[in-house]
Structure formats: structure tokens, C-alpha cells
Amino acid sequence: MENLDLKYIIETIGCQMNENESFDLAETLSHSGILQAKTLQEANIVILNTCSVRAQAEQKAFSFLGRAERIKKENSSVKIIVIGCMAQRIPDKIKKRFKNIDFIAGTKEANLAEKILKLLPFSEQPKSLPKENLCCKLNFGKIVRHITIMKGCNNYCSYCVVPFVRGQEISFDYKKIMNDCVSMVENGTKEIILLGQNVNSYKYGEIDFSKLISKIAKIESLTRIRFMTNHPKDLNDDLIEIMSKESKVCRHIHLPMQSASDKILEQMNRKYTFKHYLNLIKNLRTAMPDISITTDVIVGFPGESQKNFEETLNAIKDIKFDGLYVFRYSQRPNTKAAQIPDDVSLEEKKHRHSVILKESNEISAKIAAAMVNTKQEVLGEKFENGILSARTRSCRKVFITTDKTYLGKQFYAFIKSAKINSLFGEIR
Ligand code: SAH
Ligand code: SF4
Ligand code: F3S
């Protein structure tokens, strides 16, 4: 069945959890015969998947909705649909500001895809939507696929809105996860990335995160496993052991540090000290000297003095992360930290942000440069315009001029040159 007159577009703001949910929704829509629009102008179903983590993310949603409403003014048959964390947090505020939204649903809405389909002017409603295995019902030919293994978060880091918009942490049934992984692999997936706000606290009956990984690793035609995000208070020796023993698990870990000042870490309710964090880095590197470690840092948290900031900067210089995301603290309503005055000026936050970014870019560029003239094991992920886009086990992108046969294959590439975020290689 095709609905040639219907075309959807999904704009996604936020984390990989949102990306993955948008992907699932796109599959359901495509499965119902709706085509994917290439531009906003071409679409008559406009879906916005929102994020609330920083004020900036919410601003972005507001300006997108402004554009969508202008399109709807010209063509009233356009449907505007808003989903995700911001739709959970402030639905009334969004509806008040944008009166032409057709449907808004938060993260707790059940059967979201079906409700969206019901809204659409099909000549005939699609009948047989498979409810099981939503993520696997179509083969989009993706070599790398994400799977959400848990939802919500119980950690209540004092700055963070996620526990409020995503609710209590729940680990999904491991048998369901296994089934999904197996069908993905049967459909050609070579790399699976496990997602959760804190994958280290995954627990379903007897199955904890390390056990889950070792079970997934047994799927024969699967080449690689990655996961994110980790929490320093929960990362344990079992995980380090399985990472170092199991060759399918990529030796890359995203371990958000947030700050290196114990005073700030305590105020953030992170439940670890900097010493504990450093110890984890030491243990990871002792077990796997080649491991790549990336992190998140927040600058300008309330009460962060120049000295506290320098502690973080020095830690970054010492640890030498492969990559790093740095964020300016953004006060979020209802969080614990919102009760403390947001006392670092915007100018100072911007300054600290740029100092850290400059430092970390230099480190990351050096690590990339050291890979030139070495052979790296890569997996071919995408093939476009005669160029294969592949990724090293440490999660760096490599562009290789070659043919399509390397798509989905893991092989050694010779690295010829490097930029901070991408490497250029050839097959020798
Ligand atoms: N659960 C994950 C990811 C949370 S959001 C984790 O704990 O790591 C991703 C990153 O956004 C966080 O690691 C943090 O660095 C940043 N972040 C979250 N809330 C923020 C806020 N209010 N202001 C600035 N950065 C924030
Ligand atoms: Fe937010 Fe902390 Fe939970 Fe991460 S662990 S989602 S930063 S509350
Ligand atoms: Fe993700 Fe943003 Fe929601 S970071 S969980 S989309 S608030």
C-alpha cells in the first residue's frame, strides 16, 4: 500500500535515545507506505522530536516550530506533531505559543506510532502493523544499529532534567533485547550500540550489564558491540574484564566526568570523587592500554570558582581524552541545582567553554595524528559517491576511496592523514 500524497519529515533534537526513537517512528511510517520528504517544504507531516536538557535545545525547538507554522499557513493540510522530552515537560506552554500543532505527546505516551497514524488522512488506514519487534520490522540496510536497553534515570544529578522528563529507570526484558539483536543481525546489522542513560545499572533478573554483553557477543554474525552512557559510580570490574576479553566489544568508553573538583561533584550529586574517577581511568588503561576514553564536562556550574575550573582543565590535560563534549551550565526548572544561584556569568561560562574546547581539540588532534601511517581495524558503515565511511574500533571516522564490497566488512585500513574528527585511509 502506498500513500503517494503523504510525505513525512522528522526533525530530531537531543541525545541518541531520541535519534533512535525517531528512527523507529520513521520505520513505522515508511512501513505504512508514507514517503520520507527530503525538505521541510516538501513534507505534509512534520514531526519534531524535542529535548529539554539545556535551554538552548528548547530554543531550537521553538524556532523550528516557527518555521513549521509558516509552512502550515500556506498549506493547511500540513500536520504538525511534537513529541519527546520537551513535549513531556511543558506541553501547555508549547500549545499556547504554537496554536496550529495537531498533536503533542510526551515520552510517556503509549502506542505513539499508532496514534500518529490514526491522525493522518489515509485513503485507507493501514491494517496490519506489527506490534512486536518494532525496531526490526524493516530492513533499512543499516550496518550499525542502536538499541535502547533501559529507559529513565534514577540518579538525579542536581543539574539534570532527564529524570523528570523520562521518569524512573526501567531495564527492558533481556530476552526481548536478545530477540531484537538477533533479528537486526539477520537483517545485516554488524554493529550494535546499546543505549541507556546509565547502562552500568542495567539489571533484569539475574542479568546485569556485563552478562547482557556476553550474551549478545555470542550472536555469530555480529562484528561489534558498543554502549553508552556509563556512570563512574556504577562502572565495575566485571565490565572492564568483559571489555578486555571479548573481542567484539569495542575498546571505547564514554565516561562523563562533568568536573574534577570534589566540591562541584558533590554539589552535582554525582556520588563519586575525582580520585575515584582517576582510579577508573587507571584500571581501564591497565586492562586495555589501547582503550579510547571520551567524556562530558560542564563549565560554570553554580559556585564553580576559577580554582575549581582549573582543577577540571588540569584533569583534561593529564587524562588526555580521545574526545570530549563540553557544555555551559544551563539552569533547568525544578532541578535541585536551580535552587542555587546561577552565579557564573555567561561571559565567564563562554570563556571557560572555549578554553576547554581548545585544549581538548589539541589533545584529540594529537591522538589522531599519531594514527597516521598505522593500520587500523575499521568497519565499513556507509558507501556514498565512491567513498566508504568506516569507523575505527576507537570510534573515529575514516574515509576511504574504495568499492562497495567493503560495506559491512571489518578490515585493516592504512591511515594516510588525519583531522581532529576524521581520518583518511586506503586499503593496502
Ligand atoms: N545520562 C547521561 C547523559 C545525560 S545528558 C550521563 O549521565 O552522562 C548529556 C550531558 O549533558 C551530560 O553528561 C552533561 O554533561 C550535560 N548536561 C546535562 N544537564 C545539563 C545542564 N543542565 N546544563 C549543561 N549541561 C548539561
Ligand atoms: Fe542526568 Fe545524571 Fe541521569 Fe545522566 S545520570 S541522565 S546526567 S541525572
Ligand atoms: Fe535525551 Fe534530551 Fe531527553 S538529552 S533524554 S532528549 S532531555
d(CA 193, CA 222): 11
| CA distances from residue 124 to 8, 71, 358 in whole angstroms, order as listed | 17, 26, 56
CB of 60 sitting under 6 A from ligand 1 = no
Ligand 1 atom nearest residue 153's Cα: 1
Q: How far is the CA of 234 from the centre of ligand 3 (A)?
A: 21
Cell 587507571, residue located: 282
Q: Which helix (H) or strand (E) holds 56?
A: helix 55-74
Q: How far is the CA of 142 from the centre of ligand 1 (A)?
A: 28
d(CA 43, CA 78): 8
* Mean pLDDT in consecutive groups of 10 residues from the start of the chain, 428 residues: 74 95 90 89 95 98 97 93 98 97 95 90 57 39 90 97 97 97 94 97 98 97 97 98 97 98 98 98 98 98 98 98 98 97 98 98 97 97 93 96 93 96 93
Tell me which residues have their CB closer than 6 angstroms to ligand 2. Answer: 153, 155-157, 160, 162-163, 197-198, 231
- Residue 122 pLDDT: 67
d(CA 427, CA 101): 51
Domain 142-250 has CATH 3.30.750.210: yes
Query: Helix (H, G, I), strand (E, B), or coil: what is residue 110?
Result: coil
Name every residue whose Cβ is closer than 8 Å to that of residue 92 and which is 6 or more positions away in sequence: none
Whose CA is closest to atom 5 on ligand 3?
Answer: 162
Tell me which of 155, 233, 298 to substitute to probe ligand 1's pocket, judged by most ligand atoms within 8 Å of the beta carbon: 298
Q: Against a cut of 0.85, is the pTM above it?
A: yes
CB of 330 sitting under 6 A from ligand 1 = yes
Q: Where are the alpha helices (DSSP H) in 231-345?
A: 237-245, 262-267, 274-287, 306-319
Q: Considering the domain 7-128 in this protein, what is its CATH number?
A: 3.40.50.12160
- Nearest in space to 173 (alpha carbons), one of 158, 190, 151: 151
Query: Helix (H, G, I), strand (E, B), or coil: what is residue 325?
Result: strand
What CATH number does domain 375-426 carry, 3.40.50.300, 3.40.640.10, 3.60.10.10, 2.40.50.140? 2.40.50.140
Return the domain boundaries, the chain: 7-128, 142-250, 375-426
- Residue 190 pLDDT: 97
- Residue 137 pLDDT: 37
- Residue 127 pLDDT: 53
- Residue 30 pLDDT: 86
